[in-house]
Amino acid sequence: MGEDKTLNMITINLIGSGNVAQHLISVLQQTEGVVLQSVLVRNLKSISHLLTDEKIITIPEQLQPADVTIISVTDSAISEVSNTIPFENQLVVHTSGSMGLDVLNDKNRKGVFYPLQTFSKLKSIDFKEVPLCLETENESDYQLLETFGKSLSDKVFKINSEQRQSLHVAAVFSCNFVNHLYQIGNEICDENKVPFEILFPLIQETADKIKTLSPKEAQTGPAIRHDQKTIDKHLAFLNDETRKTIYQLLTQSIQNNNG
């Protein structure tokens, strides 16, 4: 006598059609033990390439209760969207790194399902490798959200709102700001007719190294060596005031933090 497998399925509603929502639609349809019940969007066409029309709804009143309802919209719209949900006392989560639980309407049980990755529409992602940062208001909901998270990814973390805020700030330094330094490197190469790709192996190795050494241990270069001759040469080479200021500030910070 086999069990009825559908009894153990986790049902999911999704609200939104952005980058994160689209990656979730794809992965939810491929995940065992999970049923994507409905996707609520403003414009049916925005996601009709991703799933069959009968699952797409455009009016909040059509949403049926599900085990987890995921709101994946821009930060400033989460509150308003959560107000339009027609049912009560279900688990409703948002996917934002910087918003608390309080942004969600009180009529449902609250949680956060924050995938910490940079999603581009054109680039596929191995979702098993995406860290999921989970939080629920009620301890009793955590197990449900964790079971759901583990069916999608091998990297599930229990992270409260304050920790999530710190992660978001850390990600700005380690991702957005890092990318901006790549941009400055790229521009310096272009201005001197040197192919930027010469730096790719170095960029790759720098990102790899911190998996086995702490960044503090891994630091190299003129700043940490207190090689003032080279630092002066580099400052004389830089003719852009912003770049000079960034160079000086980061050199000083490296020296102060490791002295």
Query: Of 30, 193, 239, 259, which one interacts with a second copy (CB under 8 A)?
Result: 193
Query: Which ranges in 61-175 belong to alpha helices (H)?
Result: 78-83, 139-152, 161-171
The residue among 39 and 223 lying less far from a second copy, judged by its C-beta, is 223
Size of the site for a second copy (CB under 8 A): 92
Shortest Å distance, C-beta 73 to a second copy: 14
Q: Which residues pair with 69 in a beta bridge?
A: 13, 92
C-beta of residue 103 within 8 angstroms of C-beta of residue 78: yes
Query: Of 183, 226, 228, 239, which one interacts with a second copy (CB under 8 A)?
Result: 183
Shortest Å distance, C-beta 34 to a second copy: 21
Query: Of 8, 89, 239, 242, which one interacts with a second copy (CB under 8 A)?
Result: 242
Piece of 33-41, 55-63, 83-91, 127-135 that binds a second copy (CB under 8 A): 127-135
Is residue 245 within the footprint of a second copy (CB under 8 A)?
yes
Piece of 8-16, 26-34, 87-95, 218-226 that binds a second copy (CB under 8 A): 218-226
Coil/strand/helix, residue 30: coil
Angle at CA 117, nearest 5°, toward 113 and 118?
125
C-beta of residue 53 within 8 angstroms of C-beta of residue 109: no
Piece of 45-53, 86-94, 138-146, 221-229 that binds a second copy (CB under 8 A): 221-229
Name residue, tokens 């409260």. 160
- Structure token pair of residue 147: 């079971």
What does R_g of the chain's alpha carbons equal in angstroms? 23
Q: Which residues pair with 198 in a beta bridge?
A: none
The residue among 8 and 242 lying less far from a second copy, judged by its C-beta, is 242
The residue among 64 and 177 lying less far from a second copy, judged by its C-beta, is 177
The residue among 140 and 186 lying less far from a second copy, judged by its C-beta, is 186
Query: Of 133, 134, 145, 152, which one interacts with a second copy (CB under 8 A)?
Result: 133
End-to-end CA distance of the chain: 69
Q: Find the binding residues for a second copy in span 10-69 (CB under 8 A).
A: none
How far is Cα 9 from Cα 65, in angstroms, rounded to an integer? 14
Is residue 244 within the footprint of a second copy (CB under 8 A)?
no
Name residue, tokens 């720098």. 206
C-beta of residue 33 within 8 angstroms of C-beta of residue 8: yes
Is residue 224 within the footprint of a second copy (CB under 8 A)?
yes
Phi, psi of 224 (to 5 degrees): -70, -25
Q: Find the binding residues for a second copy in span 60-119 (CB under 8 A).
A: 75-76, 98, 116-118
The residue among 65 and 222 lying less far from a second copy, judged by its C-beta, is 222
Name residue, tokens 């399925």. 9
Shortest Å distance, C-beta 89 to a second copy: 30
